[in-house]
């Protein structure tokens, strides 16, 4: 039953307007990394959309082999193809290696991020 629920949720995510999930496969065709791109309509910047990348994950056994960078780069390219004027990405990690990874993907840490989470 859990599998059916997950399949339905995944189908709903894929049908959400502006959302694309990228999946990087290793040499055997198995999933190695993923990233989610959300293109958001916008009223400013000549009504050009902006994008948000979330859920960047690589299997621990595949890290450092270019799979994560490949899906992030592909997501950025898709945002440019969609006419986005910027792509944003937030990370909750304080690990310098994670920050270096995003910088190697072309991101610059130059904004202050805020969030609010719903209490339990």
pLDDT in 10s for each residue of the chain, 120 residues: 566 677 888 888 889 999 999 999 999 999 999 999 999 999 999 999 999 999 999 999 999 999 999 999 999 999 999 999 999 999 989 999 999 999 999 999 998 888 899 998
Euclidean distance between CA atoms 9 and 92, whole angstroms? 24
**DSSP strands (E only) in the chain:** 19-25, 31-40, 50-58, 87-89
Euclidean distance between CA atoms 13 and 114, whole angstroms? 24
* Residue 106 CA: distances (Å) to CA of 31, 97, 102: 24, 14, 7
pTM: 0.89
Euclidean distance between CA atoms 47 and 85, whole angstroms? 10
Residue 115 is encoded by which pair of tokens?
């969030």
């Amino acid at each position: 039953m859990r599998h059916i629920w997950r399949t339905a949720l995944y189908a709903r995510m894929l049908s959400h307007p502006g959302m694309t999930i990228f999946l990087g496969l290793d040499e055997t065709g198995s999933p190695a990394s993923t990233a989610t791109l959300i293109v958001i309509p916008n009223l400013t910047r000549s009504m050009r959309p902006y994008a948000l990348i979330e859920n960047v994950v690589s299997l621990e056994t595949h890290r450092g082999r270019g799979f994560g960078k490949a899906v992030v780069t592909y997501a950025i390219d898709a945002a440019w193809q969609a006419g986005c004027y910027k792509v944003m990405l937030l990370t909750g990690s304080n690990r310098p290696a994670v920050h270096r990874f995003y910088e190697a993907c072309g991101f610059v840490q130059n904004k202050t991020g805020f969030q609010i989470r719903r209490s339990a």
